Amino acid sequence: MLLDFREAATRATFEADLCVIGGGAAGIAIARELSRTRHSVIVLESGGLAFDPDIQALYKGTNTGGGFSLDATRFRMLGGTTYVWGGWCAPLDEIDFSTRDWVPYSGWPITRAALLPYYERAQGLCELGRYRYALSDWPGLADEALVLDPEKLEHKLWQLSPPTRFGDAYADELRRARNVTVLLYATATEIVTRENAAYVTEVRITNLDRMRATVRARAYIIACGGIETPRLMLASNRVERAGLANSHDLVGRFFMEHPHPDAGGVLLASATALAPYFDRQEEGEYVVLGLGPSERAQRRLSILNSSIAVRRPLQSEPSEGWDSLVKLSRAFRGGSWPDSAGTHVYNVLRDLDDVLREGYRRSRSGPIQGYAFMARTEVAPNPANRVMLVEERDALGMRRVRLQWSPGTLDRVTVEKTMRLVAEELGRLQVGRVRINELLLEEGQKWIENLGWFGHHMGTTRMSSDPRVGVVDSDCRVHGIANLYVASSSVFPTGGYANPTLTILALALRLADHIRTTALA
């Protein structure tokens, strides 16, 4: 059922077997899994069914690294940030789970194989078909794709969700679920533990109408995302002054995002060579094929994982200059020099300003001359990148957040070296000529001016078997607290290049199974 906390009795107490804090993708996934059981579940969602600017303002904070604002890249409503989700789905790669000696703090305490069954189940939540992320799973695409040197590049593949807005898609199902209560307009402001801080006894909630209530459960899951999860834990400092489970000063640290630099582009020798790499429908599914450094290349070059996807096609209105360029290109491919070569070169040079403009401007029609590339890179986990609390408080009296972080040199070098690999392969295969965004070549932080951000907030309650370097264990249980868990990208020790939603859902489903057989058994 869906309840509005604003209409509840004053000083109410809610009780359930399981309390899920956060009604985003992870929280909804867990609630759905347990809706078919005998256990009672309460989901606390700060917002309502629709966007509310006053509720959204609770997300305001400071980002010292710039580039994105904290209240524009995450959303407080049922369904959470799927409200603006682009739908890109891909699993993490094998190497993302491994300990890499050139990446400090790398390594997950679980294997990709352990997560695979949950990836497969997560597909359906995103309204996708079968779990198929290898190029060989798509024979039609494989036939057209480039044959890459495995020492350098490999294919990366995404499936595109419609995208699924989790609030819209699952509200009715949750409304009908007899053992699930979704409490809207209920913001958790404190998690209360026993004196020894080893067991959660209740969660305190409030709303903009200053109503207060308490939620008591046998087990609790924080599913608030990569920034709000540590915020709640840091704010819950009644027993431990540094915040919940923060005796090793890890909560909020190791923040990661996926920088998306405009990486450059390619001017094609063949207009159709990269057609398979632009969004396409294959066997009824929307897929995107991209490129990235192979595992061997990552190890050889000591770089992180990343991906290059073709984005905007570079089209032009036909002009003499472009027309001459095309004729020159075709003639040279055939091994001959056109009779009027001098004229053609002159045409290109004469129109060169137009060629330059049109080459990097999208227009409605005209032949495709090339593609712009968008990169998406892993960032190296760095404890100095962190979420902290400041003294300023929001309308509910909760301390606001300051995000202090910056991408590092290895992140930039990863994109630079990946683009070089792309240039080598596209050159070898006579596909075209690559241009790299020169900001990627400059040392220092200038490249940050060129970055796009997509709300992939990860790492701030990272997973590790060792409580000295992790906040949660391999079951996503908070170290030292018997009945508190986290379902969020905040548990990622490393982020890979892949958009995090599919992995968030896989981990949430795995946690639901675990909770059902342990804490709720």
H-state helical runs in 259-397 = 295-301, 320-333, 341-350, 352-359
Pick the closest to residue 73 from 308, 310, 232, 260 (CA basis).
260
Kindly indicate which of the ranges 33-41, 250-258, 422-430, 482-490 contains the residues binding another protein, using the contact rule CB under 8 A.
422-430
Torsion of CA 133, 138, 141, 143, to 10 degrees: 120
Interacting residue with another protein among 72, 337, 357, 362 (CB under 8 A): 337
SS3 call for 120: helix
* Residue 264 binds another protein, judged by CB under 8 A: yes
* Residue 291 binds another protein, judged by CB under 8 A: no
Residue closer to another protein (CB basis): 57 or 356: 356
* Residue 332 binds another protein, judged by CB under 8 A: yes
* Residue 147 binds another protein, judged by CB under 8 A: no
* Residue 427 binds another protein, judged by CB under 8 A: yes
Please report the sign of the dihedral spanned by the C-alpha atoms of residue 501, residue 506, residue 508, residue 509.
positive
Residue closer to another protein (CB basis): 53 or 342: 342
CA 26/CA 125 separation, integer angstroms: 10
Which residues are within 8 A (CB) of 438 and not within 5 positions of it... i.e. 6 or more apart? none
Going from the C-alpha of 237 to that of each of 206, 222, 241, 389, the distances in angstroms are: 17, 16, 5, 12
For the CB of residue 453, give the shortest distance to another protein in the complex, in Å: 23
Residue closer to another protein (CB basis): 234 or 348: 348
Residue closer to another protein (CB basis): 414 or 460: 414
* Residue 333 binds another protein, judged by CB under 8 A: yes
Question: 90: number of CA atoms within 13 Å, CB side?
Answer: 26
Please report the sign of the dihedral spanned by the C-alpha atoms of residue 71, residue 72, residue 77, residue 81.
negative
Kindly indicate which of the ranges 112-120, 395-403, 416-424, 482-490 contains the residues binding another protein, using the contact rule CB under 8 A.
416-424
Interacting residue with another protein among 314, 436, 486, 511 (CB under 8 A): 436
- Contact between residue 84 and residue 90 where contact means Cβ atoms under 8 Å apart: no
User: Which positions from 269 through 288 interact with another protein, judged by CB under 8 A?
Assistant: 269
* Residue 335 binds another protein, judged by CB under 8 A: yes
* Residue 53 binds another protein, judged by CB under 8 A: no
* Residue 235 binds another protein, judged by CB under 8 A: no
* Residue 414 binds another protein, judged by CB under 8 A: no
* Interface characters, 80-119, with another protein (x: CB under 8 A): ----------------------------------------
SS3 call for 77: coil
* Interface characters, 486-505, with another protein (x: CB under 8 A): --------------------
For the CB of residue 152, give the shortest distance to another protein in the complex, in Å: 8
Interacting residue with another protein among 317, 438, 449, 466 (CB under 8 A): 438
Which residues are within 8 A (CB) of 155 and not within 5 positions of it... i.e. 6 or more apart? 135, 145, 148, 289, 290, 291, 292
For the CB of residue 264, give the shortest distance to another protein in the complex, in Å: 7
DSSP 18-71: EEEE--SHHHHHHHHHHTTSS--EEEE-SS-SS--HHHHGGG-EEETT-SS-TT
For the CB of residue 371, give the shortest distance to another protein in the complex, in Å: 14
Going from the C-alpha of 324 to that of each of 186, 225, 351, 352, the distances in angstroms are: 64, 53, 10, 11
* Residue 148 binds another protein, judged by CB under 8 A: no
Residue closer to another protein (CB basis): 214 or 329: 329
SS3 call for 509: helix
CA 330/CA 14 separation, integer angstroms: 72
Residue closer to another protein (CB basis): 334 or 444: 334
Q: How many residues form the binding site for another protein (CB under 8 A)?
A: 39
CA 300/CA 52 separation, integer angstroms: 49
* Residue 331 binds another protein, judged by CB under 8 A: yes
- Contact between residue 507 and residue 487 where contact means Cβ atoms under 8 Å apart: yes
* Residue 342 binds another protein, judged by CB under 8 A: yes
Residue closer to another protein (CB basis): 268 or 487: 268
Residue closer to another protein (CB basis): 146 or 217: 146
CA 243/CA 292 separation, integer angstroms: 39
* Residue 325 binds another protein, judged by CB under 8 A: yes
Q: Which two tokens stand for residue 261?
A: 């630099």
Residue closer to another protein (CB basis): 165 or 435: 435
Kindly indicate which of the ranges 400-408, 421-429, 483-491, 511-519 contains the residues binding another protein, using the contact rule CB under 8 A.
421-429
* Residue 8 binds another protein, judged by CB under 8 A: no
* Residue 212 binds another protein, judged by CB under 8 A: no
Residue closer to another protein (CB basis): 99 or 336: 336
* Residue 446 binds another protein, judged by CB under 8 A: no
Pick the closest to residue 480 from 239, 266, 307, 289 (CA basis).
239
H-state helical runs in 251-340 = 295-301, 320-333
Residue closer to another protein (CB basis): 182 or 439: 439
Q: Which residues of 94-119 are buried (b: 16+ CB within 10 A; e: fewer)?
A: ebbbbebeebebbbbbbebeebeebb
State the residues that interact with another protein by CB under 8 A: 264, 267, 269, 325, 328-329, 331-333, 335-337, 339, 341-342, 345, 348-349, 352-353, 355-356, 419-421, 423-425, 427-428, 430, 432-438, 441
